[in-house]
Amino acid sequence: MLVRREPPATAARPGPRVLQVAAEIFPLVKTGGLADVVGALPPALAAEGLDVRVVLPGYAAIADSVLHQRRVAELGPMFGAARVTLRLGRLPYSRLPVYLVDAPLLFRREGGPYQAADGHEWPDNLQRFALLGWVAAHLATGELDPGWAPDLLHAHDWHAAMSHAYLAAHAAPVPSVFTVHNLAYQGLFPAGDFALLGLSARFMAAHGLEYHGQVSFMKAGLKFASRITTVSPTYAREIATHEFGAGLDGVICGRRDDVSGILNGVDRAVWNPETDTALASRYSAAQPEGKMRCKAALQQQLGLEAAEDRPLFGVVSRLSAQKGLDLLLAALPRLLAEGGQLAVLGSGDAALERAFRDAAAAQPGRVAAITGYDESLAHRIIAGVDAVVVPSRFEPCGLTQLYGLRYGSLPVVRRVGGLADTVVGATPETMSDGTATGFSFDAATPAALEGALGLAVSTYREPARWRRLMAQAMAQDFSWAVAAREYRALFEILLRPRAGRSAGTPLRGGAGGVA
Ligand code: ADP
Ligand code: GLC
């Protein structure tokens, strides 16, 4: 996948040194939107003038791609690895400095970052991601690299969350931010494995990592980070409720004043219809003609009826309960009866994979279902469809609706989380005041989704209205520069003398707190 990234502009104000901690990064290792964020946010922070480095597990796909590597520290045997070496190099594409946790026994293996090829979680995930957190924390305390130590640590999701616990164990005066990309994945392990973490017993308590008799890595972030962010303001409010809290709403409420939402952006080096080399034809809001060629090429590639006038709906998604695609399966007969087509690219839940394949077999020419993971096809679907469907039960941010907006493929979304924050559903009012950018619905029911899809189909039949919506969608600017400025403002609050220096210290008066 081609990534066109300009070198970061030199900023006027030198910013703080920030260590980013994560378990995946686009384009090297990706299972979902987390990788897109970790690929885009550090360069955006660097463009804002921050001195940013990233620490990542040394999976083969990363370790074999990082340029100009040199050894920074030899850590010997730990967490079940025969030897751990810390290396520093530069990321291809962005050239950002990156630390690699090189532990071949733990990270260099066939399969995914969290699971074996058969779909089972790696049995030593506790050790693997405890090691990532341990290394990040010790980099932050300045113990591992005599040449560089960050002012602040910023970790993403449960895989990186243990860095906060190890910082707390050191009583290290390094402020930290923990970003929750998805509260539903928590990194839970048997209590008996706690001993492998090398933490004192006081950490295995309700005010620490203990969660209903298990060890929770997610809780390490939620309890010990100085501040918690989520990837949209609405999700930041939602996770304080029983409905969206995934069993951790009590913990979130306990940190109420420290939780805020910063919306993800679109990486324009990767998702831009004007430069996207995956497409049959490039296009822009000013010259949208190429989009029809993308639609025709997609219909041909997927064996769909070559019909310009049929509204083509698309999905690019993990197939999991979160994404609400069972609602789409239920709404499909009505969508097809109204003349629509559907293209689905996804992988995950075997029953959903089968159901979409069955739908495609039953409706050849009208429904196409591709099971698997295909970055280039994802681009061609986002560009070639008329509308991108994201009917999620919950959605911390969601990126495909943002890509849809950018590519003039109108999002049809459930009004939750980041979907609610990024798409303005068409109503008589939003159509007439020119703010509508897509279609939305509230209830997680097939009927509610059918209503939104039906409105999309009838609007599609009025080309002038559809074109107005497309222009409005493509004019949206969900940029990483905006998000990077918000993160920088948050970091600067934490770096003020005496503010947020102790782990988990409640901070009052921060912007966007949970109401
Ligand atoms: P999540 O992180 O919950 O999966 P997001 O919408 O934030 O959802 O991000 C999903 C990312 O993964 C997007 O970049 C999307 O294009 C990509 N993606 C999801 N499924 C596939 C697939 N089967 N093939 C290619 N890309 C996919
Ligand atoms: C998670 C969420 C998704 C979000 C992504 C990146 O995977 O499910 O909503 O867009 O992280 O932050």
Q: How far is the CA of 40 from the centre of ligand 1 (A)?
A: 15
Calpha distance 275→259 (Å, rounded): 37
Does residue 95 register a pLDDT over 60? yes
Pairing label, strands 210-211, 188-190: unpaired
Q: Is 234 within 8 Å of 175 (Cβ atoms)? A: no
Calpha distance 142→439 (Å, rounded): 50
Tokens standing for residue 81: 């690895």
- Cβ–ligand 1 distance for 424 under 6 Å, the answer no
Average pLDDT over residues 504-515: 29
Ligand 1 pocket mutation pick from 1, 36, 41, 405 by most atoms within 8 angstroms of CB: 36
Calpha distance 431→425 (Å, rounded): 9
Calpha distance 445→345 (Å, rounded): 22
Calpha distance 215→173 (Å, rounded): 25
Average pLDDT over residues 66-73: 98
- Ordered by start, the domain boundaries in the chain are 19-55+117-265+483-504, 289-474
Q: Name the phi and psi angles at 436, rounded to 5.
A: -65, 135
Say whether 348 sits in a helix, a strand or coil: strand
Q: For atom 11 of ligand 2, which residue has the closest CA?
A: 181
Q: How far is the CA of 33 from the centre of ligand 1 (A)?
A: 6
Q: Name the phi and psi angles at 52, rounded to 5.
A: -110, 135
Tokens standing for residue 158: 């449960």
Give the nearest ligand 1 atom to 395 CA. 3
pLDDT one-digit tens code per residue, 212-261: 999 999 999 999 999 999 999 999 999 999 999 999 999 999 999 999 99
Q: Name the phi and psi angles at 341, rounded to 5.
A: -120, 160
Strand order in the sheet with 152-156: 67-78, 81-90, 97-102, 51-57, 17-21, 152-156, 176-180, 227-230, 259-261
pLDDT band at 494 (very low <50, low <70, confident <90, very high): very high
List Cα–Cα distances, 497 to 98, 174, 272, 490, in angstroms: 28, 12, 41, 14
Tokens standing for residue 340: 């629509």
Calpha distance 264→247 (Å, rounded): 24
User: In this structure, is the dihedral angle defined by the CA atoms of residues 393, 394, 398 and 401, taken in order, positive or negative?
Assistant: positive
Q: Which run of H or E residues covers position 507?
A: none
Judged on CB neighbours under 10 Å (0-12, 13-18, 19+), 350 is: exposed
Ligand 1 pocket mutation pick from 24, 34, 318, 385 by most atoms within 8 angstroms of CB: 318
Q: Crossing angle for the helix pair 375-384 and 289-302, nearest 10 degrees? A: 120
Tokens standing for residue 159: 């895989």
Question: Of 510, 506, 509, 508, whose CA–CA distance to 226 is shortest?
Answer: 506
| Residues 6+ positions from 202 with CB-CB distance below 8 Å | 208
Calpha distance 315→388 (Å, rounded): 6
pLDDT at site 512? 27
Q: How far is the CA of 352 from the centre of ligand 1 (A)?
A: 16
Does residue 506 register a pLDDT over 50? no
Domain 289-474 in the same topology as domain 19-55+117-265+483-504: yes
pLDDT at site 4? 53
Say whether 353 sits in a helix, a strand or coil: helix
Q: How far is the CA of 34 from the centre of ligand 2 (A)?
A: 6
Radius of gyration of the chain (CA): 23
Pairing label, strands 341-348, 367-371: parallel
Does residue 501 register a pLDDT over 90? no
CATH number of 289-474: 3.40.50.2000
Judged on CB neighbours under 10 Å (0-12, 13-18, 19+), 124 is: middle
pLDDT one-digit tens code per residue, 172-185: 899 999 999 999 99
pLDDT at site 505? 37
Q: Which fold has domain 19-55+117-265+483-504?
A: Rossmann fold (3.40.50)
Of all residues in the chain, what percent carry a pLDDT higher than 70? 94
pLDDT one-digit tens code per residue, 7-56: 454 444 578 999 999 999 999 999 999 999 999 999 999 999 999 999 99
Give the nearest ligand 2 atom to 418 CA. 9
Q: Using CA atoms of 257, 258, 263, 264 in order, give the dihedral in degrees to the nearest 10.
A: -170
Name residues contacting ligand 2 (CB within 6 A): 32-34, 37, 181-182, 231, 264, 395-399, 418
Of all residues in the chain, what percent carry a pLDDT higher than 90? 92
Strand partners, 71: 87
Calpha distance 24→37 (Å, rounded): 9
Calpha distance 374→387 (Å, rounded): 19
Ligand 1 pocket mutation pick from 347, 385, 400, 409 by most atoms within 8 angstroms of CB: 400
Kindly write down the DSSP assignment for every residue of 442-486, as one continuous string.
Answer: -SSSHHHHHHHHHHHHHHHTSHHHHHHHHHHHHT---BHHHHHHH
Tokens standing for residue 329: 């399966």
pLDDT one-digit tens code per residue, 440-451: 999 999 999 999
Judged on CB neighbours under 10 Å (0-12, 13-18, 19+), 21 is: buried
Q: Which of the ligands is closest to the CA of residue 352?
A: 1
pLDDT at site 514? 25
C-alpha angle with apex 323: 321 to 329, nearest 5 degrees? Answer: 85
Distance from chain centroid for Cα 65:
22
Q: How far is the CA of 310 from the centre of ligand 2 (A)?
A: 31
Ligand 2 pocket mutation pick from 399, 405, 419 by most atoms within 8 angstroms of CB: 399
Average pLDDT over residues 304-309: 96
C-alpha angle with apex 43: 39 to 44, nearest 5 degrees? Answer: 105
Q: Which of the ligands is closest to the CA of residue 356?
A: 1
